[in-house]
Structure 1
Amino acid sequence: MTPLTRPLLMKIVSAFLFCPTLSYAQQNYFNVPSSELTPKNKAFFQQQFNFFQNGSEYFTTFCYGLGKEAEIGFNILAVTVERSALVFHDYHAPYKPLYTLNAQKRFYLRKFDVALGGHFGFNRKGKTAAYVYANHINKIPRWKTKILTGVYYSDYGYHGGKTRNFTTYPAIAGVGFQIGAETNLYKEKWLFQTDYISGYHIAGTLAAGGAYVANKVHVISFGYLLPLRDVPALSGFVLEYTFAPLSAENNAK
């Protein structure tokens, strides 16, 4: 399929985010940014492992909190191992792995919050790779549950040439949607998590699982990746380790 060449302005779509009493900085649920920000002068680290029948993938994220609900960092995404050998997909977009810088900023509005962010860098062949998103957030603390929805745009270097949604209309083929949810199961130590990112690309999966909050900085997440029909992604298991300093709500606003 031909590369996606028409950049689009992104809109914010309605969503709900129900926040628990404590909020931990976490770059992703599994595949979708959670829009929790790293506290000022604190470091965030996340290592994700995806295990498939014939191999595995590794995703590394580092962020640094700038204060005023902003963070920056870098990513090494989709390092692939097949049958005990490093495999770089030089002949099939998006030519993994990806090397990107990341940035995110959260805005507190009257009735809801908005987080804008993105990854910007290059892929294995030196081509640009970009993914930008807008997430819409609301908070009802008594539910101790988060639900997030948003929209995203990604280019050919990041997700390849197939549509990001359920159409092939060129004007919107680069835009998709993403959702995530998290709920407290037991004393904010055990959490249920799920997310979904739309699109006919390798990340277009539904992920569901849980997280164990060991203490104020260490979180272990685990789940299952399930691609929807006709999506060229693999099913498998996901495991994440997160070093995430405890976030104070409205940190350094």
Structure 2
Amino acid sequence: MVRCQVVLLLLLSPILAFAQQNLFNIPSGDITPKSKVFYQHQINLYTSRFESKGHFVYGLGNGWDAGVNVVGKGVYFRPNWQLMHNDQRAQGPLYPVVMGTLQKQLVLGEKVNLNLGTQVGTNFSSVAERRTVHQFTYGLLGYTLKPGKRLLAGTYVTNSAYVGPGNNLGLLLGYEWKLNDRWYLMGDWVSGRHDQAAGVAGVMYWPAKRVQFCGGLLLANPNVPKPNGIVLEINILGWNAGH
């Protein structure tokens, strides 16, 4: 039954797929415009597995957006091929997970905004007692140096069901740096000593007004279980954002 649920999630991800909700691993500080949709799909490649994450967002207006995240899908291909699944707390974070999202942006000045958001959901398991609440809540301050050049800094609080053993409170840092109309430098960092604690440095490319391609090198924080890897993303916007 569990395998059927995971396969269903893998099949549904492209179907759900419809401004940048995340940089790589932290929120981007953007808000989806009212009545518009945004979809981001991310693949993390490691030496023994790949992970798949999908983020669907709908703009509510007045600085609000809401959505659904499906994270922790994937496949191990070493030593044997098998779908990723964990519902045992002793073995680290529980996955795959479906989470509802809600975010509010406060404009504090011409160059400064504050985003407050939360993601809350549960993992998939055929055993009811092994399903538990996951949450990731954050505050993120964005400062625009000039159009296309922005710095982000904030804090988060989460729980061990989502990130595994380690700290549940930490820092978020990120940047976007426009090189020209189509290319940006982009990176972020999640502090801590848990499964999600890592930094990513990479680039973003605009092939069209509604599509962004992103790629980067993922470097895990010291003394955490996550290995180093490569991150690939596609973002699909429901409006013409331009370059």
TM value normalised by structure 2: 0.83
| Pairing of 1:101-140 with structure 2 (within 5 A) | 101-110=100-109, 112-124=112-124, 125-140=130-145
**Closer, same or farther: CA 246–190 of 1 in aligned 2, 3 Å:** farther
Pick from 82, 85, 93: which aligns with 1:85? 82
Q: Is contact 1:102-1:120 (8 Å) kept?
A: yes
Write the distance in 2 (CA, Å) between the matches of 1:101 and 1:129. Answer: 10
Higher relative contact order (CA 8 A, sep 6+): 1
Count, aligned residues? 212
Write the distance in 1 (CA, Å) between the matches of 2:76 and 2:59. Answer: 35
Helix, strand or coil: the match of 1:29? coil
Check if 1:66 corresponds to 2:60. yes
TM value normalised by structure 1: 0.80
Pick from 141, 156, 161: which aligns with 1:152? 156
Post-superposition shift, 1:26?
0.9
Post-superposition shift, 1:193?
0.6
**Closer, same or farther: CA 110–247 of 1 in aligned 2, 3 Å:** farther
Write the distance in 1 (CA, Å) between the matches of 2:205 and 2:95. Answer: 30
**Structure 2 stretches of 5 or more lacking a match?**
1-18, 125-129
Q: Is contact 2:47-2:229 (8 Å) kept?
A: yes
Write the distance in 2 (CA, Å) between the matches of 1:177 and 1:247. Answer: 32
Q: Is contact 2:210-2:240 (8 Å) kept?
A: no
Post-superposition shift, 1:89?
1.7
Helix, strand or coil: the match of 1:202? coil
**Structure 1 stretches of 5 or more lacking a match?**
1-24, 164-173, 249-253
Percent identity between the aligned chains? 31
Post-superposition shift, 1:246?
5.0
Pick from 217, 232, 236: which aligns with 1:239? 232
Helix, strand or coil: the match of 1:157? helix
**Closer, same or farther: CA 28–66 of 1 in aligned 2, 3 Å:** same
Q: Is contact 2:218-2:230 (8 Å) kept?
A: yes
2:6 aligns to what? none
Post-superposition shift, 1:115?
0.5
| Pairing of 1:12-91 with structure 2 (within 5 A) | 25-83=19-77, 84-91=81-88
Check if 1:98 corresponds to 2:103. no
**Closer, same or farther: CA 46–204 of 1 in aligned 2, 3 Å:** same
| Pairing of 1:148-187 with structure 2 (within 5 A) | 148-163=152-167, 174-187=168-181
Q: Is contact 2:215-2:232 (8 Å) kept?
A: yes
Post-superposition shift, 1:219?
0.4
Deviates more, 1:87-96 or 1:201-210: 87-96
Post-superposition shift, 1:234?
1.3
2:4 aligns to what? none
Check if 1:212 corresponds to 2:205. yes
Write the distance in 1 (CA, Å) between the matches of 2:56 and 2:166. Answer: 28
